[in-house]
Chain A
Amino acid sequence: MKLLKPSWVSHNGKPIFSVDIHPDGTKFATGGQGEDSGKVMIWNMAPVLREEDEKNENIPKMLCQMDNHLACVNCVRWSNNGLYLASGGDDKLVMVWKRAAFIGPSTVFGSSSKLANVEQWRCVTILRNHTGDVMDVAWSPHDVWLASCSVDNTIVIWNARKFPEMVTCLRGHTGLVKGLTWDPVGKYIASQADDHSLKVWRTVDWQMDANITKPFSECGGTTHVLRLSWSPDGQYLVSAHAMNNSGPTAQIVERDGWKTNMDFVGHRKAVTVVKFNPKIFKKKQKNGSSPKPGCPYCCCAVGSKDRSLSVWLTSLKRPLVVIHDLFDKSIMDISWTLTGLGMLVCSMDGTVAYLDFSLDELGDPLSEEEKNSIHQNIYGKSLAITSTEAQLSTTIIENPEMLKYQQERQNSAQTNIGPGCAGPESSAPKLNSVMNGESLEDIRKNLLKKQVETRTADGRRRITPLCIAQLDTGDFSPALFNSAPILPSGSSMSNQLTSQLSSDSSPGQASSLGLRPSHDPMLTSPPASSIAKGLEDNKDGVKPCLLLTSASKIEPMKALDSRFTERSKATPGVTAAISSTAGLTPLDSRPKDGISALKDIKSKEDTSSDSEDKMATINKNLSFSKRKPELLMDGGEVVEKRKKGRPRKEKMAAPIAQPFTQITPPAEREPSRVAAPPAPVAALKLPTPSIKKAFSLQVSMEPSVFLEVENEVSVVAGSKLSQLRCSRDGRDWNTLLPSSVVTAAGSSDVLAVACQDRMLSVFSSCGRRLLPAIQLATPVSAVHCSSHFVMVLTAGATLSVWDVQKQKALVKNESLLTILSGADSTVSQSLLTQQGVPVIGLSNGKSYCFSSSLETWTLIADKGDSLVQCADFRSCLSTHDAPASSGPLAVMQGRNLKYDINIKSPILNTSVFLQIKCHKEVSLKNLSGPCSAGRLASRLSSTPHHLQQSMTLAFLENQLASALTLQSAQEYRYWLLIYARFLVNEGTRRPLFKVFTLSRD
């Protein structure tokens, strides 16, 4: 075995997530992180294989790089016919690339690297359906389908003969799907996900055939990818990360009954990638020994997070070889050459390694005929049988795609006989020139005179550009080989590059070529090479040194540099872009996914009346049933409270992408002070913090603002002075206050300090006093700041919120008695959202927010709510939506909900919960009709679904309304998505229609 790490294969040190060797073995692709985008690179294989080629400067190493993915590329895969390259990335897209018909630019315009793109690969289609990062893509045998899997928990099967048509979307995983593999026989596709399962799906009806969970139950979602692999004989499927006796393994799943009795053990950390050698081997016959018919075996490479690589033969009990410390970071992908003797491995550390095996080590690869006969013997028909058309035609046609494929194969076989068998590579370029034989040079000379310039109605110049070449995109049918490329003489644009990198390109073609790949395109260009000419023009035209030697001008040049990168002021969105970096809440800081949160909220506002009515009735029902005891005390008021809040429109314009500050009231933060003697005023309901000599707190992380308070620093004329010191991003300021500071709070914008003399002072975080001191009626219980809002909770149980920027009161001395009455509960938590919505959590588990537009308290969360306990929407959760768990709603609802989400068997637990609940209260009366607790429980076990569905719906609708009132755009979106998914899963069409009408406008 030979091992090589070609250092020139790199993404400038950025991680390489995927590697794949072209079926013809002449090149390979890598995918990973680029400078500011995802990056796909295509490399020449020859310099990897042969040292002399590596040293020969005329042989290009990098063939092409594509920066088109907006975010990191997780997977690159060549189609089996080698015509296409598919790439999937964090930008939720799958791109399919094809060798371009005509030469593109030899460099990326303006790129600092002068490396030429020797080959041009053009994105011919973008597949959009995933709502999360695409983790793996896989071509089916014979390239009938392309499968992609994503962190949105789905697998999408695309029609590879008719992109971007989608065949189906496989749903069933409840976690991030991180790996895919097709059965070589063509019957199945297998996927592995973070939900501790490996699922096998049938290609006949796209239904799940097997769900294997046992070996994965101990697994944590710690690996970036879970690239599993199917053996070339179809008999075994080997998973990535599995656990056996708390040791990481690669689980072997037998095709026969999906048995999981064997595994590959030995890696110290999770297995990230498994890749079977495409060849089947048999034992090498030793000279002299009797030709004993050895059993054929497969070879499998396993890469792990422990940075080591192991290679196994299914005939051996121990690995053939284990290579430690090959990389500095986790192995991410493995690709074998089609010959079965070479292997490329890539790592998160940004390097690749090439392993070269000999026949002595691996054995004799079976010929295609022998492999076919194995498949024939085991399966009768198999897509892996490759040799003749006759065999394919005997394959059972399991679906229309296969029929179509078979017909196409027969057609192309016929056309192949016709105009000489050109390989797919050389025939791929197809040019549609529109230049009528005129050379590009002629065109360029007269372009200014000839180009059509008109004036628009408002007097602006409008130029019609000259089209110099059309694109040949969208060509997915197997290439018909009779279309000879039109080559206008002397035009480099139309020159095509031979695919062969060696010098054996056909001489007839070569004569018409402007560029030869083995040469520097810029130097060898014939007179008419336009791009090279353009560059030469530039070179001739200027004397760069002349420009750059004027030392006196270095300063302004630095200043000028910024002009290159800054967008012009006129461009809309520029302020948003800048303010977003400044950590404010601009319009564009929205959740990543398709529908923007803002849109959601807006559309929510436009709710059609009937849906709103329905929601309202549900809410009423709920509040009635759930809160009966309170109803008795407060009369009709409770129903009133549950009315859906309609927050003001202008506030909606600021979505809540920013975190809000949340400070637990001092009473809770320092338990010692809870017992502090109540302040003298008799009407006090809420505890007040005691006065400390000194305290400090950090009020903001970005910019970092620290606050330090020292009481009674000096006594001047009988009054005790307190000092307030603040440090903002290293800059300090301090001020004096005439009374002892009780409590303080702050955000990145404002600081609020409450003093013993019931004065509230508000400062900007830079030290300017923003308001004269505010006199409060009773001592302060808690102060919060968030953005430019200040909230004060007084001991007299009143709440005030001011908008410091507008110098306006949002909430004016609102009494908490409404929510405190009837229960002997106290305020346990209070917070202020980034939008200035005050939220109060009570010790009885209920949380309220005061809607300033409705001027009323609204219940946003109730930990004792039976609906919370009974709602089951786990199947609709997708883990990548998790960020919403940090919103104000999630904070107030606390861990209760989260715990509930984690319960594994929904129905069982629900019934248990229900039994408990029913004994406690008659909360479910309205939903299930009058019945005793016991009967309810028994009914539930027999027909739980209907009831549970209603409860879940009610719960989700509650959540939506609460998120809306809190103006928590992210959470609203989160719950709306779950709501929509739930409706889809449950097949409830009518309310779903409602969701659609909501989100459309």
Chain B
Amino acid sequence: MAKVQVLNVAVLDNPSPFGNPFQFEITFECMEDLPEDLEWKIIYVGSAESEEYDQVLDSVLVGPVPAGRHMFVFQADAPNTGLIPESDAVGVTVVLITCTYRGQEFIRIGYYVNNEYTDPELRENPPLKPDYTQLQRNILASNPRVTRFHINWEGSADKMEDSENVDPSPNISSMLPPSCIPGKMPPLGLMPDNSMDCM
């Protein structure tokens, strides 16, 4: 059973200009005192097409965490515009908040983010090169997508107690399986099958 339950994430300063820092107020509850810190990360997905453009905006350690209910504000700088493909600057993308304990990710909270020009003129005729100063970032805070993973709270990642526990456990039924994504292969790593069959 997960020792840490995220109870709420409030998106602060939203909507806001593109350059403003992200601010999430996170409320979580912990079943018992945690001997180690939690590590939180904000990941900005620069492009839907490739994980290459993912930016870890910041990561913080949170601790000590005694049993009880806690809250903190996680603030992270806006993404580096230089790393975002120009074609993906305007439109819908995703920002992720992940939390890991002892190197194991146990929750992933995703929000859709819409970046749009506020000026109707620009909206109609967007400039070829995105003008980030005019962009507004709007996080769809009412619809977080939360995926929880079972992890081994007692030990580190290499001691996963149960293969069943590894499977991602999305609690949103409408989620598409990763295989639906064109041109994106799951990171199959060192599969011998793969290495053999590169024809």
Partner of B144, one of A110, A468, A568, A574: A110
Q: Which residues 557-614 of A have a CB within 8 angstroms of B?
A: 557-569, 571-582, 584, 586-590, 592, 594, 596
CB B170 to nearest CB in A, in angstroms, measures 5
Quick one: closest A residue to B7, CB to CB? A105
Q: Which residues 43-90 of A have a CB within 8 angstroms of B?
A: 68-71
Chain B residues within 8 Å of A1, by CB: none
B197 engages A764 (CB within 8 Å): yes
B196 engages A749 (CB within 8 Å): yes
Residue from A451, A568, A569, A575 whose CB has the most chain B CB atoms within 10 Å: A568
Chain B residues within 8 Å of A546, by CB: 114, 116, 138
Given known contacts A109-B9, A805-B196, A561 and B60 CB-to-CB distance under 8 angstroms: no
Q: Does B71 touch A at the CB level, under 8 Å?
A: yes
A572 engages B103 (CB within 8 Å): yes
Q: Which residues 140-156 of B have a CB within 8 angstroms of A?
A: 140-147, 149-150, 156
A556 engages B60 (CB within 8 Å): no
Residue from B49, B73, B138, B143 whose CB has the most chain A CB atoms within 10 Å: B73
Chain B residues within 8 Å of chain A by Cβ, number: 113
Q: Does B35 touch A at the CB level, under 8 Å?
A: no
Q: Does A343 touch B at the CB level, under 8 Å?
A: no
Q: Does B11 touch A at the CB level, under 8 Å?
A: yes
> Which of A301-309, A422-430, A458-466, A691-699 is near enough to bind chain B?
A458-466
Given known contacts A109-B8, A538-B141, A546-B114, A579 and B191 CB-to-CB distance under 8 angstroms: yes
CB B113 to nearest CB in A, in angstroms, measures 8
Q: Does A628 touch B at the CB level, under 8 Å?
A: no
Contact code string B174-199 (vs A, CB < 8 Å = 1, else 0): 11111011101011111111011101
B175 engages A564 (CB within 8 Å): yes
Given known contacts A582-B188, A768-B196, A468 and B166 CB-to-CB distance under 8 angstroms: no
Q: Which residues 432-485 of A have a CB within 8 angstroms of B?
A: 443-444, 447-448, 451, 453, 456, 460-471, 473
In the complex, besides A469-B69, A590-B162, 19 extra interface pairs with C-beta distance below 8 angstroms are A93-B1, A109-B8, A112-B172, A462-B60, A468-B27, A471-B67, A473-B31, A542-B15, A542-B138, A542-B141, A553-B91, A562-B176, A562-B181, A565-B147, A566-B186, A567-B168, A571-B157, A582-B191, A765-B197
Q: Does A35 touch B at the CB level, under 8 Å?
A: yes
Q: Which residues 74-123 of B have a CB within 8 angstroms of A?
A: 74-75, 88, 91-94, 96, 98, 100, 103-105, 108-110, 112, 114, 116
Quick one: closest B residue to A539, CB to CB? B142
B1 engages A70 (CB within 8 Å): yes
Q: Which residues 233-292 of A have a CB within 8 angstroms of B?
A: none
Quick one: closest A residue to B140, CB to CB? A547
A470 engages B67 (CB within 8 Å): yes
A764 engages B196 (CB within 8 Å): yes
A109 engages B70 (CB within 8 Å): no
How far is it, in angstroms, between the C-alpha of A872 and the C-alpha of B20 when the chains are bound? 73
B140 engages A542 (CB within 8 Å): yes
Q: Does A537 touch B at the CB level, under 8 Å?
A: yes
Partner of A550, one of B15, B103, B114, B157: B114
How far is it, in angstroms, between the C-alpha of A538 and the C-alpha of B48 when the chains are bound? 24
Q: Does A322 touch B at the CB level, under 8 Å?
A: no
Residue from A123, A444, A765 whose CB has the most chain B CB atoms within 10 Å: A444
How far is it, in angstroms, between the C-alpha of A576 and the C-alpha of B166 when the chains are bound? 9
How far is it, in angstroms, between the C-alpha of A553 and the C-alpha of B182 when the chains are bound? 15
Closest 9 pairs (CB-CB, A-B): A110-B146, A556-B48, A465-B70, A572-B157, A564-B110, A538-B141, A575-B189, A766-B197, A577-B166
Q: 8 interchain pairs (CB within 8 A)?
A: A36-B170, A71-B164, A109-B5, A556-B92, A564-B175, A573-B158, A576-B160, A805-B195
Q: Does A377 touch B at the CB level, under 8 Å?
A: no
Partner of B104, one of A453, A471, A565, A572: A572
Given known contacts A560-B48, A572-B103, A448 and B169 CB-to-CB distance under 8 angstroms: no
How far is it, in angstroms, between the C-alpha of A749 and the C-alpha of B199 when the chains are bound? 14
Q: Which residues 467-514 of A have a CB within 8 angstroms of B?
A: 467-471, 473, 493
How far is it, in angstroms, between the C-alpha of A661 and the C-alpha of B188 when the chains are bound? 24
Given known contacts A559-B48, A567-B149, A571-B104, A448 and B199 CB-to-CB distance under 8 angstroms: no
B114 engages A447 (CB within 8 Å): no
A461 engages B49 (CB within 8 Å): no
Chain B residues within 8 Å of A556, by CB: 47-49, 88, 91-93
How far is it, in angstroms, between the C-alpha of A588 and the C-alpha of B143 when the chains are bound? 33
How far is it, in angstroms, between the C-alpha of A564 and the C-alpha of B144 when the chains are bound? 10
Residue from A110, A111, A571 whose CB has the most chain B CB atoms within 10 Å: A110
Quick one: closest B residue to A594, CB to CB? B161
Given known contacts A70-B150, A566-B168, A572-B104, A541 and B145 CB-to-CB distance under 8 angstroms: no
CB B33 to nearest CB in A, in angstroms, measures 10
How far is it, in angstroms, between the C-alpha of A69 and the C-alpha of B163 when the chains are bound? 16
B145 engages A564 (CB within 8 Å): yes
Chain B residues within 8 Å of A596, by CB: 159, 161
A564 engages B94 (CB within 8 Å): yes
B45 engages A465 (CB within 8 Å): no
A572 engages B23 (CB within 8 Å): no
A561 engages B175 (CB within 8 Å): yes
Q: Does B134 touch A at the CB level, under 8 Å?
A: no
Q: Does A374 touch B at the CB level, under 8 Å?
A: no
How far is it, in angstroms, between the C-alpha of A588 and the C-alpha of B171 when the chains are bound? 23
How far is it, in angstroms, between the C-alpha of A263 and the C-alpha of B108 when the chains are bound? 55
How far is it, in angstroms, between the C-alpha of A651 and the C-alpha of B77 when the chains are bound? 47
A467 engages B66 (CB within 8 Å): yes
| Chain A residues within 8 Å of B, Cβ to Cβ | 35-37, 68-71, 93, 95, 104-105, 108-112, 123, 126, 443-444, 447-448, 451, 453, 456, 460-471, 473, 493, 531, 534-535, 537-539, 541-544, 546-548, 550, 552-553, 555-569, 571-582, 584, 586-590, 592, 594, 596, 657, 748-750, 764-768, 770, 788, 805
A574 engages B188 (CB within 8 Å): no
How far is it, in angstroms, between the C-alpha of A95 and the C-alpha of B31 when the chains are bound? 13
Quick one: closest A residue to B152, CB to CB? A573
Quick one: closest B residue to A102, CB to CB? B69
How far is it, in angstroms, between the C-alpha of A221 and the C-alpha of B182 when the chains are bound? 48
Partner of B74, one of A463, A535, A576, A765: A463
Quick one: closest B residue to A764, CB to CB? B196
B192 engages A534 (CB within 8 Å): no
Given known contacts A469-B68, A561-B176, A575-B187, A538 and B142 CB-to-CB distance under 8 angstroms: yes
Partner of B199, one of A465, A576, A766: A766
Chain A residues within 8 Å of B142, by CB: 535, 538-539, 542, 544
How far is it, in angstroms, between the C-alpha of A108 and the C-alpha of B100 when the chains are bound? 20
Partner of B72, one of A447, A543, A557, A578: A447
Chain A residues within 8 Å of B149, by CB: 567
CB A558 to nearest CB in B, in angstroms, measures 6
How far is it, in angstroms, between the C-alpha of A123 and the C-alpha of B30 when the chains are bound? 12
B8 engages A461 (CB within 8 Å): no
How far is it, in angstroms, between the C-alpha of A578 and the C-alpha of B182 when the chains are bound? 18
Residue from A467, A559, A765 whose CB has the most chain B CB atoms within 10 Å: A559
A537 engages B105 (CB within 8 Å): no
A105 engages B45 (CB within 8 Å): no
Q: Does B14 touch A at the CB level, under 8 Å?
A: yes
Chain A residues within 8 Å of B135, by CB: none
Quick one: closest A residue to B108, CB to CB? A564
A531 engages B61 (CB within 8 Å): no
Chain B residues within 8 Å of A557, by CB: 48, 92, 112
Chain A residues within 8 Å of B10, by CB: 534, 537-538
B180 engages A558 (CB within 8 Å): yes
Given known contacts A112-B171, A556-B49, A770-B196, A468 and B109 CB-to-CB distance under 8 angstroms: no
CB A762 to nearest CB in B, in angstroms, measures 11
Residue from B49, B114, B173 whose CB has the most chain A CB atoms within 10 Å: B114
How far is it, in angstroms, between the C-alpha of A592 and the C-alpha of B161 when the chains are bound? 7
CB B28 to nearest CB in A, in angstroms, measures 8
B62 engages A465 (CB within 8 Å): yes
CB B67 to nearest CB in A, in angstroms, measures 5
Chain B residues within 8 Å of A465, by CB: 28, 62-63, 65, 70-72
Quick one: closest A residue to B141, CB to CB? A538
